Amino acid sequence: DTGVSQDPRHKITKRGQNVTFRCDPISEHNRLYWYRQTLGQGPEFLTYFQNEAQLEKSRLLSDRFSAERPKGSFSTLEIQRTEQGDSAMYLCASSSAGLFKDTQYFGPGTRLTVL
């Protein structure tokens, strides 16, 4: 078990471009979360999947953001028409209900810089 992985680790883009990030959760984890973290702040919840179903989206997630988790495995987060305010660390976490009551394990994050 290699933990949660995210790709790319860093992304620099120009304002107005589209970007897509990928998250591979711990195998057999059925819950997957996306969070966003800016400097000096704790992570903020963006969206949540149970298996392939997207069950909740934060008010922070504007129409420019979309997330998918086909077949309940990896997930992608796409940001369309990026803005400078989108610059942040995007974190993915996964968990499995049961014995450990949904402890979330985080990936290394994708650092997005919008110029």
Partner 1 sequence: EDQVTQSPEALRLQEGESSSLNCSYTVSGLRGLFWYRQDPGKGPEFLFTLYSAGEEKEKERLKATLTKKESFLHITAPKPEDSATYLCAVQAVGGSNYKLTFGKGTLLTVNP
Site residues for partner 1 per CB under 8 A: 4, 6, 31, 33, 35, 40-45, 48, 50, 55-56, 91, 95, 100-109, 111
Please identify, using beta-carbon distances, which residue of 82 and 107 lies nearer to partner 1: 107
Please identify, using beta-carbon distances, which residue of 6 and 82 lies nearer to partner 1: 6
Query: Whole-angstrom Cα distance, residue 102 to residue 65?
Result: 25
- Whether omega before 8 lies within 30 degrees of 0, making that bond cis, reads yes
Please identify, using beta-carbon distances, which residue of 86 and 109 lies nearer to partner 1: 109
Rg (CA), the chain: 14
**Taking the complex as a whole, how short is the minimal distance between the CB of residue 11 and partner 1, in angstroms?**
14
- CA dihedral sign, ordered 21, 27, 32, 37: negative
**Taking the complex as a whole, how short is the minimal distance between the CB of residue 16 and partner 1, in angstroms?**
26
**Taking the complex as a whole, how short is the minimal distance between the CB of residue 41 and partner 1, in angstroms?**
6
Euclidean distance between the first and the last CA atom of the chain, given in angstroms as a whole number: 36
